[in-house]
């Protein structure tokens, strides 16, 4: 007998019929002889709807009240799912974050979990009950209600699995697993049977919206074996996410992703002297703007450089305000913004110590006539910034170049997020 944590997202509990189906999936795991804890999100688009109402009342809703509002969504689904399990003849109990003791710091709307109390969880499990826990929410040591950031229920589930040393955490969703790329762009994307935490983290950050990145970090930290699988195909094992040491790596590239959520900012003619870059990026970080790719051009004879970087579109206005002040301070000439960009990335633990991967990537893009504007690399990722209009073509070309194409076309269930 093991402890299994199951997490069901909003689309899996979107209506009463679906909730009854989820109850069946939960009971099935229990009947396999396991102790089961279920973590659920709010029904369907409930959270979006709550956010919309708040924004209709205020341009800048109070974060504490926002958390008070948004946590209601999950409270509805835990009660209904628990009733559904009970109606099918099994003992179950719902718990919110306060009842469990999911302790977070007091950073409203994006709190991090600092501790999970296990006492009450064990006591219910030992009575043979299925526990249904509200995802996405936490409580501070002072009893303030918090949320973990949009999509945070994945993180709740993984953190609970880590705290209980669970045998597995299954993230049930409306796709069948993690794919080599977005199957809507490349119809013969392949479902990966396994992928490492590290690769998944890179893919999660570059726009493969399957899992909340923080949930993968937490899984890696506590070594929680994760599975991403479909609520609507219970016999399909989905994708297994585990430590890289447990895997046979035979392909250099595991997946390809596009991120269309960034803009490029270029500061022209920055004086080539110590402290210029520090001033630019210090000002951005003080305002909580996170910068992704950075390139400084080779110093020119006139003693200036250009500094280019990318930030999230949502930070556009904040960034421009800061940069306009900084260029006066450092005596740079001007600033340019490029909104029509996409970051395409290849990710794979197998590229470590394998020469030629970058060259193959650039060649595949060149053969399609795609111009590269910026390049950045990490140990297991290479990203190129390209024209937004070239993004789909780039993804397709890279998918084929690294032999990821499947013979059969992937069947996509439900809505994938927009890319």
Residue 150 contacts which entry, ligand ASP, Mg ion, none (Cβ below 5-8 A, type-dependent): ligand ASP
9 binds Mg ion (CB under 5 A): yes
> In angstroms, what is the minimal distance from the CB of 45 to ligand ASP?
8
Total binding residues toward Mg ion, as defined by CB under 5 A: 3
One residue of 4, 5, 10, 176 binding Mg ion per CB under 5 A? 10
Candidates 1-9, 105-113, 132-140, 303-311; binding stretch for Mg ion (CB under 5 A) = 1-9
Chain residues in the site for ligand ASP (CB under 6 A): 9-10, 41-42, 47, 73, 135-136, 150-153
Q: Which is nearer to ligand ASP, 42 or 349 (CB)?
A: 42
Residue 41 as a binder of Mg ion (CB under 5 A): the answer is yes
Residue 282 to residues 213, 287, 296, 301, 314, Cα–Cα distance (Å): 25, 9, 16, 27, 19
Asked whether 258 and 207 are in contact (CB, 8 A), the reply is: yes
Nearer to ligand ASP, 132 or 253 (CB): 132
Using CB under 5 A as the binding rule, whether residue 162 contacts Mg ion is answered as: no
Which residue number places its CB atom closest to ligand ASP?
153
Nearer to Mg ion, 10 or 207 (CB): 10
In angstroms, the CA 404 to CA 365 distance is 16
Q: Is the Cβ of residue 41 or residue 276 nearer to Mg ion in the bound state?
A: 41
The site partner of 104 among ligand ASP, Mg ion, none (C-beta below 5 to 8 Å per kind) is: none
Q: How far is the CB of 209 from ligand ASP (least distance, A)?
A: 12
In angstroms, give the least distance from the CB of 155 to ligand ASP.
Answer: 8
Chain contacts with Mg ion (rule: CB under 5 A):
9-10, 41
């Amino acid at each position: 007998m093991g402890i299994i944590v199951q997490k069901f997202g909003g689309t899996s509990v979107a209506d009463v019929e679906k909730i009854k189906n989820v109850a069946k999936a939960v009971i099935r795991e229990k009947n396999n002889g396991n102790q089961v804890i279920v973590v659920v999100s709010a029904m369907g688009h409930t959270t979006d709807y709550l956010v919309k109402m708040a924004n209709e009342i205020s341009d800048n809703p109070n974060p504490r009240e926002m958390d008070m509002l948004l946590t209601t969504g999950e409270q509805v689904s835990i009660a209904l799912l628990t009733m559904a399990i009970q109606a099918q003849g099994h003992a179950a109990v719902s718990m919110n974050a306060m009842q469990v003791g999911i302790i977070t710091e007091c950073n409203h709307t994006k709190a991090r979990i600092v501790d999970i109390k296990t006492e009450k969880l064990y006591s219910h499990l030992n009575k043979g009950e299925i526990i249904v826990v509200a995802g996405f929410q936490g409580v501070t040591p002072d009893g303030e209600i918090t949320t973990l950031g949009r999509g945070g229920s994945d993180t709740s589930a993984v953190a609970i699995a880590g705290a209980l040393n669970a045998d597995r955490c299954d993230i049930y969703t409306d796709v069948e697993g993690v794919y080599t790329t977005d199957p809507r762009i490349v119809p013969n994307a392949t479902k990966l049977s396994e992928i490492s935490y590290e690769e998944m983290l890179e893919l999660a950050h570059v726009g493969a919206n399957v899992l909340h990145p923080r949930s993968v970090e937490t899984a890696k930290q506590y070594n929680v074996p994760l599975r991403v699988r479909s609520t609507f195909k219970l016999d399909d094992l989905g994708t297994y996410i585990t430590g890289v040491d447990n895997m046979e790596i035979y392909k250099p590239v595991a997946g390809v992703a596009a991120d269309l959520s960034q803009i490029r900012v270029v500061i022209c003619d920055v004086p080539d002297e110590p402290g210029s870059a520090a001033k630019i990026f210090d000002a951005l970080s003080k305002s909580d703007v996170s910068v992704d790719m950075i390139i400084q051009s080779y110093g020119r004879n006139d003693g200036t450089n250009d500094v280019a970087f990318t930030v999230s579109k949502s930070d556009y206005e904040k960034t421009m305000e800061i940069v306009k002040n900084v260029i006066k301070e450092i005596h740079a000439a001007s600033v340019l913004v490029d909104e029509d960009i996409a970051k395409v990335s290849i990710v794979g633990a197998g590229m470590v110590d394998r020469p030629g991967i970058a060259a193959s990537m650039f060649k595949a893009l060149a053969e399609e006539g795609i111009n590269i504007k910026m390049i950045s690399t990490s140990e297991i990722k290479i990203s190129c910034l390209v024209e937004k209009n070239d993004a789909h073509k780039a993804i397709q070309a890279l998918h084929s170049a690294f032999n990821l194409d499947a013979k059969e076309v992937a069947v996509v269930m439900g809505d994938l997020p927009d890319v």
